[in-house]
Amino acid sequence: MSEQKPYVVSARKYRPATFKTVVGQRALTATLKNAIDSGRLAQAYLFCGPRGVGKTSCARIFAKTINCLSPTPDGEACGVCESCRAIDRGNSFNLVELDAASNNSVDDIRSITEQVNVPPQSGRYRVFIIDEVHMLSNAAFNAFLKTLEEPPKYVVFILATTEKHKVIPTILSRCQIYDFKRITINDMVEHLEYVASQEGVTTDRDALGVIALKADGAMRDALSIFDQVAASSRGNVTYANTIENLNVLDYDYYFRMVDAFRSGDVSSALLLYKDIRDKGFDSLFMVNGLAAHVRDLMVAADPRTASLLETSEEIAVRYTEQSRTLPPQWYYAAMRLLTDCDLNYRTASSKRLLVELTLIRLCQLLTPATPPFDAIDRKQPLGDPTKAPSKAQEPQVGYGSPSPHPGSSSTPPQSRPQQLQSQPQPTAATPQPAIAKPVVNPSAGSNSVAQPKPAAASKPTAAPKPVAPKVATGRRPSTLRLSDVGSNVNPDAGRLTHRATPISHDRFIQAWGEFIARNPQLHILISAMRASKPTPAGEHAYSIIVDHPAQLQAFELSMPKLIEYLRNFLENDLLTLKVEVNTNPVENKQLPPKEFLRQVVSENSALAGFLSALDAELV
């Protein structure tokens, strides 16, 4: 019975032995071969890059090539001479390897500096490979500086690290730095196909693409994952057993999910989510995978960014085909929704409901809800879109709320958006003036109808320009925004004149008091408004005197909100507010109760005598 050979993992068995067999580093290996051919060898090299991309392997190949006794015509090591065979066996005196992760002290570096003085016994160079050099201590780095800068002519140092930023600058300045790149998906798939053919394993190219994607640019990881999948599938690596063994969600789920988003099919999206959960995948894993899928669709949509797509060629074709069916704006909105879901997932009390709500909103990006059911997205109360909202439904004016638009003074502010929506949109071929329909005034009875003003044939006269106040009022331009009143409004029909309803003082005080009642959360501003007394300062201006700079600051911070509310309430877009601090001393200042009683007792001798007779005192 013949003895069975010991099993060697693919990462060791198929480790590169020449520059030609190094995967995915063609430019770098060509540079090293040219340096060897021309004899332009540096005393120190630094190989840096991600894990599993060939740093240590290239260091060994470099050491073997410069000591080869009979190199090949293309600049590779022969592999048969005594020096090459000794390096392959690992017993060459010309190659010294040190793992800095476990040998990072000054004494370890001192042992290297002592070995530097010993010349090579066979070959021309002694090569010292220090792996994970960033793990050396600061003292060890400093002890290594002199030897690294001026070693003997027959010594070459090769330092390897995955974290170049942790190496001190004085070391970096003494080395030639070579940056190893991540290995691409296609390069890994080709190498895995070669390994599979050598091992007699049947493979599916899509399965190898999943393995390469899982390896994240590391060839060593890809070979380890390949061995795992080949062992579990008994030499028949298929796409189905690969995603099952690696716990990877199938690409097809993401493609079908995006198809449901495009068609607005909420039921299909929720059923796909249920199927994913039933297979044991975490919801957050699905959300992040879907976000990565949307990102890949976005980069596949533009040929200029298609190179950023890190998938196999077959999957890249599917990405390109599906990306053509979606507008570019959809990708940005979808990634925003998925990112928000990821941020809120950990704190959500019902995680499943959060994910399902995100999927529903993704389905509504291209097929939004129709009025009045889109009121939630527009942040307006549900109701009959043909009727004006009641006083209780009128949204409060805030920093983020859209400002109502100017119009006819006979039309209430809350009914103005509906009036503008009802206007017909003239076509580009036959431009017509916009004529507002009659609007019933609910406060004047059913028979009272506000007649529209005829459109002026000539250019309307500009409204009088108000006097600019000293304090910024945060007034916005009186323009019509189509996003607030509907997409059926013609931009040319939105140029309306300023509202200039005469302001009565009683009406202004009423608006002042209603703003105080509607915004109790603005404590400092409300306190300042109650303490101040607005006085008319012109036809469309009011002056406000405050007692303290803090009150002035409160008015400045909330002035956009206040001036917007007052203008809409009074239907006057020319209203301005002027706020100043009172520089005169306050004569009748209100005293606290205790100070007031003391002042009364000091001014009334009879009362003071009475309190003295009772032996009483103020507390």
What is the pLDDT at residue 458? 41
Per-residue exposure over 533-554, b if at least 16 CB sit within 10 Å of its own CB, e if not:
ebeeeeebbbbbbbeeeebbeb
CATH architecture of 505-581: 2-Layer Sandwich (3.30)
Contact 32, 19 (CB under 8 A): yes
Contact 348, 342 (CB under 8 A): no
Instruction: Give the Cα separation of 434 and 412 in Å (integer).
Output: 19
Phi, psi of 495 (to 5 degrees): -85, 90
For 548-554, which contacts have Cβ atoms below 8 Å and span 24 or more sequence positions? 548/581, 549/581, 550/524, 551/524, 551/527, 551/581, 552/471, 552/579, 552/580, 552/581, 554/522, 554/524, 554/525, 554/528
What is the pLDDT at residue 617? 72
What is the pLDDT at residue 258? 94
Q: In Å, what is the CA distance from 74 to each residue of 20, 21, 36, 523? A: 10, 13, 11, 83
What is the pLDDT at residue 432? 44
The segment(s) of the chain belonging to CATH 1.10.8.60 are 185-246
CA 176 to chain centre: 37
Instruction: Give the Cα separation of 506 and 115 in Å (integer).
Output: 99
CA 520 to chain centre: 35
The segment(s) of the chain belonging to CATH 3.30.300 are 505-581
pLDDT tens-digit profile of 339-351? 999 999 999 999 9
Contact 452, 515 (CB under 8 A): no
Instruction: Give the Cα separation of 450 and 437 in Å (integer).
Output: 9
What is the pLDDT at residue 374? 60
Let me know if domain 10-179 sits in CATH 3.40.50.300. Answer: yes
Class of the CATH domain delimited by 185-246: mainly alpha
The segment(s) of the chain belonging to CATH 1.20.272.10 are 251-363
What is the pLDDT at residue 585? 53
What is the pLDDT at residue 297? 92
Q: Which residues of the chain have pLDDT under 70?
A: 1-4, 369, 371-497, 584-591, 619
What is the pLDDT at residue 415? 39
The segment(s) of the chain belonging to CATH 3.40.50.300 are 10-179
What is the pLDDT at residue 373? 65
What is the pLDDT at residue 472? 41
What is the pLDDT at residue 378? 54
What is the pLDDT at residue 468? 43
Instruction: Give the Cα separation of 114 and 111 in Å (integer).
Output: 5
159: part of which helix (H) or strand (E)?
Answer: strand 155-161
Q: Which fold has domain 251-363?
A: Zinc Finger, Delta Prime; domain 3 (1.20.272)
What is the pLDDT at residue 90? 82
Q: Locate tokens 């549900």: which residue?
A: 382
